């Protein structure tokens, strides 16, 4: 799947249903029928929505871990804790299970943000705080993660 694009402010209804933004739904249309996996993020208080094919790629990597090592078993257990299969219904809504809304502090106002091949679902206030917290050191982080030495570009 190509990378997803966009950040959208949305609302969740009292039953925990999110109306998928039209632009995001169009991008996901080739994979809507396959369903999705929704899980807790490892590093943030948000949820990650994986198209089923992306989830299967990740599970193939995790399945290669030696399950006779305790740390691997602990990782697998924690990584898959609270994982749910979800679908977008005929009305374009995604039901966020109660335990996951509690984990991510999701109440009414949320942000749905693309993260390359998955979608993050955030409480709006927590998303804005995470963006603000990262703003100060983003230039440094960008250089560290994406910066290349000149020789990588054929410049001596």
pLDDT for residue 144: 82
Q: Which CATH architecture best describes the domain 21-153? A: 3-Layer(aba) Sandwich (3.40)
pLDDT for residue 34: 93
DSSP-assigned beta bridge partners for residue 139: none
Residues of the chain below pLDDT 50: none
> Tokens 């910066």 correspond to what residue?
147
Model pTM greater than 0.75?
Answer: yes
Q: Residue 21 and residue 113: Cα distance in Å, rounded?
A: 10
The structural domains of the chain, with segments of one domain joined by +, span 21-153
């Amino acid at each position: 799947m190509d990378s997803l694009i966009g950040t959208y402010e949305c609302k969740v209804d009292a039953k925990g249903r999110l109306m998928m933004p039209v632009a995001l739904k169009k991008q996901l249309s080739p994979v809507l029928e396959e369903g999705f996996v929704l899980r807790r993020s490892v590093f943030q208080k948000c949820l990650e929505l994986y198209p089923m094919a992306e989830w299967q790629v990740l599970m193939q990597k995790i399945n290669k871990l030696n399950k006779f090592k305790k740390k691997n078993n602990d990782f697998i257990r924690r990584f898959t804790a609270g994982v749910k299969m979800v679908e977008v219904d005929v009305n374009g809504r995604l039901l966020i299970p109660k335990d996951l809304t509690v984990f991510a502090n999701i109440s009414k106002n949320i942000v749905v943000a693309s993260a390359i091949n998955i979608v993050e679902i955030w409480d709006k206030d927590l998303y804005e705080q995470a963006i603000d917290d990262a703003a100060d050191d983003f230039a440094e982080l960008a250089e560290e993660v994406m910066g290349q030495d000149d020789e990588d570009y054929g410049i001596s």
